[in-house]
Chains A and B, each alone.
Chain A
Amino acid sequence: MSGMTNNPLPRELAPGVFWLGNCLEQHYRGRSYHGYNSCYLVLGDRAALLVETGHPKDFPIIERQMGPILARHDVPLRHLFITHQETPHSGGLGRFLARHDGLTVHGDISDYHMAFPQFADRLRPMEVGDAIDLGGRMFMTAEPVVRDIGTTLWGFDAGERVLFPGDGFAYSHYHWDGHCGLVAEEATSLDLIETAAVFAELALFWTNFADMRLYVDRLYELIEELEVTLVAPTHGLPILDLAVTMPKVCEGLVGANREAAE
């Protein structure tokens, strides 16, 4: 089974930043976990930007979630920022471009011209530090500390200081305990250390072998440099209180199940 029922999204996390998307159920060692394949809509005065396309299967859901928000704020969707090429992040690219005239794709654009050659002229490469002016707020690319493919870029909304780390801060949640649609701090029964470790073992194979303390140190530095107040990951629940939640996620990352490496 994939997908979910009673999807509680969209949800406005900060002024002009909306959480969209859907869950994907996965089974591991006899237990059922839900992970998000989230997208985030960032609204400026002149243009809206969507972070990630969501899983390809979720395109109709995301369109339904996004449409009324764009209409209510009278802002066109002009930019699609994708953190990296894995299909749960980028697979909806062709569908969004086919549906939205004038929409362009931003980020590290590797492979997209091979996957969607009909849209090669709508790809705009970015590097760390590049910015997009949405009108009254800037969307920037940030250093991708934890990446699932070498071409990863993270996004950063300078308006509300929201970090979009793609596969960074990845962990699942408990559908059976009502976590879908909650931010991390609201999901009080969620064992963040365990779910972050499980996700790392399953989806971030390399974290089982690399010294993740070095990556965690750099992560803390980046959070401080950018003065991040909110983290909006693709697979984990959004984080509103970094002081409380970030240590747990980092502990899971460092302690990512070491069985594979032993």
Chain B
Amino acid sequence: MAFSSMTELAPGKVFAIQNSFELDGRISAYPKSARGACVSNCYLIREPDGAFLLDTGYGAHEKPILAQLASVLEPDVPLTLVPTRINEFMSVGNGMAIAERFNVVMCYSPQPDAADWLDFKAVDPGAERREIPTTLLRGLLNLDVGSAGERMIDVFSAPLRLINTTWVFDPETRILFSSDMFTHRSQPTDAGPWLIEEDRVTTSAFVRSFLLDTRYWWLEGAETGSLRRGIADVIERYDIDMIAPGYGAIFKGRELVERQFAVLDDVLRELDCSVTKPAYVPRGKRR
């Protein structure tokens, strides 16, 4: 039984749109050896007169995501899309379907012409396509969720990334939306839980293995000093009560948040070339 849920992270303000998938060695964000279940998370940040959607989900989840969105978002509310990884299917898979159903007024993207990056279906070159106004993501942007300037969020480049990746911080709810970082908490079954306030799984050894066996294979023996400084800057700059990643369980509570950052810093410190000898890492090497 697939898990599909709209979780209200902050009443009326932030919603997690969570849909499960099986871990069977065919999900690029997880180690080939990982088994069990996980969720993809899209997030709706909203005000009465405007909303932001972070990521649009896999095509396989199109129907539930459209229904979940419709349950909390009226079709006329101006909606802004922020695909946090414009090159990845989980971020962009339903962008066009959402634009056709809801009042998408803007897309923030590192590439111009967002519609070119969100449309995967139309075979007919003459078919009419919904165009989406695009604003380029560059540096740190402070954006208004509504129109009154009362709900500003920070949108910025992820300090540790593989592909072009965006993180978002919402000061009002103190939630950090971390895209493909802090995604290591899968579960044995799709029953979850997918919002956790206790965590005995996150250890340095576990996170090290997870990072090296997924999209951060290159960290072994890398120069991690500036990466650590970039991550430390985020936790120092923002008052974070919750980490909301693009995949996996959401971490709730200051103590849990601080632990996630501390473990990540510890892993990066140990992987630095001053501690770990650099090595060529072939595809599929498990660590």
Contact = CB atoms under 8 A, between A and B. Distances in A.
Decide if A and B are genuine partners.
Answer: yes
Given A114-B59, A152-B283, A2 B223 contact: no
Interface in B183-221: 213-219, 221
B27 interface: yes
Contacts of B86: 87
29 contacts: A1-B112, A2-B112, A57-B116, A57-B119, A59-B123, A87-B117, A91-B117, A92-B120, A109-B26, A111-B89, A113-B26, A114-B58, A114-B59, A114-B60, A114-B93, A115-B93, A144-B283, A149-B162, A149-B215, A150-B215, A206-B162, A206-B216, A209-B218, A209-B223, A210-B218, A210-B278, A211-B278, A214-B278, A261-B225
B163 A149 contact: yes
A153 B284 CA distance: 11
A203 B162 CA distance: 9
Interface of B: 21, 25-28, 58-61, 86-90, 92-93, 111-113, 116-117, 119-123, 125, 161-164, 213-219, 221-227, 273, 278-280, 282-284
Interface residues of A, number: 53
A97 B277 CA distance: 45
B117 to A, nearest CB: 7
Contacts, number: 134
A215 B161 CA distance: 19
Contacts of B90: 111, 114
Given A86-B163, A95-B123, A214-B279, A149 B218 contact: no
Contacts of A85: 28, 88-89
B26 A111 contact: yes
A115 B87 contact: no
B286 to A, nearest CB: 11
B164 to A, nearest CB: 8
A14 interface: no
Contacts of B163: 86, 148-149, 203, 205
Contacts of B119: 56-57
B201 to A, nearest CB: 21
Q: For the complex, would chain B's binding face be called helix, strand, loop or mixed by DSSP majority?
A: loop
Interface in A124-150: 127-128, 143-145, 147-150
A68 interface: no
A149 B117 CA distance: 18
B225 to A, nearest CB: 8
B28 A151 contact: yes
B280 A56 contact: no
A60 B123 CA distance: 8
Given A110-B26, A111-B27, A210-B218, A59 B112 contact: no
A239 to B, nearest CB: 22
Contacts of B226: 209, 260-262
A147 B88 contact: no
A205 B162 CA distance: 6
Given A85-B89, A206-B162, A211-B278, A59 B217 contact: no
